[in-house]
Amino acid sequence: MLENVTYHFQCFCDQTHAWVCGAGATAASIALLVIIFYCLKKRAYWKKKTQESERIEAFLKNHGPMAVKRYKYKQVKKMTQSFKEKLGQGGYGCVFKGKLPNGRHVAVKILKDSDSNGEDFINEVSSISKTSHVNIVTLLGFCFEGSKRTLIFEFMSNGSLEKHIFEKNSSPSNREFGWETLYEITLGIAHGLEYLHRGCNTRILHFDIKPHNILLDENFCPKISDFGLAKICPGRESIISMMDMRGTIGYIAPEVICKKFGGVSCKSDVYSYGMLVLEMVGAKKSICVGVDHRSSEIYFPDWIYKRLELDEEVGLNGIENEEEKQIARKLIIVSLWCIQTNPSKRPSMGKVVEMLVGSVESLTIPTIHSSSGSSIRVVSNFTTTTEHDTVL
């Protein structure tokens, strides 16, 4: 009997040993496969990055003598005191305050690693380096060392426009600037876009006009920034070919989303500008107090249009006199012209400037298609947060 017990115990041990050995072999095989997969993925990643770096270096070489200085990464660390003071952050990366050797303050933009194949870096360097305008941010330098990509801009002491129009109690009466300054800011942005579309030696479409990308200097002079999604158009063709959708939700023109609304052109920037101006004047606040909150989808330009058509007050906060009332009315009418669903009905930025500097009495109210009709229904997504989804 003892012999039987010993025999069965030995069999059990042999089976257990075989099972352990089999499980161990399986685990080792899985671990080996994971390591091989990781190594292949890492190899593909570095191969892609090497090709990306070669592409950017080729671009910098073919771009000719750069008007802006190229810095080494150690110089960037020194000018920012090892990235001590953070100014902002977005989908592109982070911005830090820095100081050049001559004492000039700068904004240092660190581009994060992305899947854009270096397109965002190339877009910014190639487009901004071609510009020189009071309403376009100035690129002072850049750094490119492997995966480290940095852009160095003039420092704008009043930050981005969104910090002023999205903060609590940000009605014109509570802002650091009043309606007259608000008007000057919208006019300056219009001048900047007109320059990009017609003034510089090549047509540049920005594709991401929004409050976050409008910077303000110490005198609240606006400057268009962030050309990561920009597209340079050779010649003067009006319609461009674009395979991908780019822009920020809430500001993207209908034709960029769906081709049936028309071709993509500089009029796409005009649409974004119109949505920006509507937001600047605080139109969203009026709707929040003037419509039924049970409606989750409200095309708010329709609401403003109906008020203007009936010659009713739009009820904006902070209007203290007739002059401010006329400024608000002018900005709203111009913005309604800019957000026409049909691109051909939108004015050029040159015409927008004319409308802004002209009298409000000379402006007519455009015909707006109802959101329940053929135009795109836009969800009222203009919130008081500072986050917007950017797509590429």
> Active-site residue numbers?
208
In this structure, the strands spanning 93-99 and 105-111 are antiparallel
**What's the Cα-to-Cα distance from 4 to each of 7, 11, 14, 44, rounded to whole Å?**
5, 11, 15, 60
Q: Are 317 and 285 in contact (CB under 8 A)?
A: yes
Closest CA to 279 of 212, 364, 376, 374: 212
Residue 208 one-letter amino acid:
D
- DSSP at 1: -
Q: Are 159 and 150 in contact (CB under 8 A)?
A: no
CA dist 164 and 158 (Å) reads 9
CA dist 363 and 357 (Å) reads 11
Q: Are 60 and 143 in contact (CB under 8 A)?
A: no
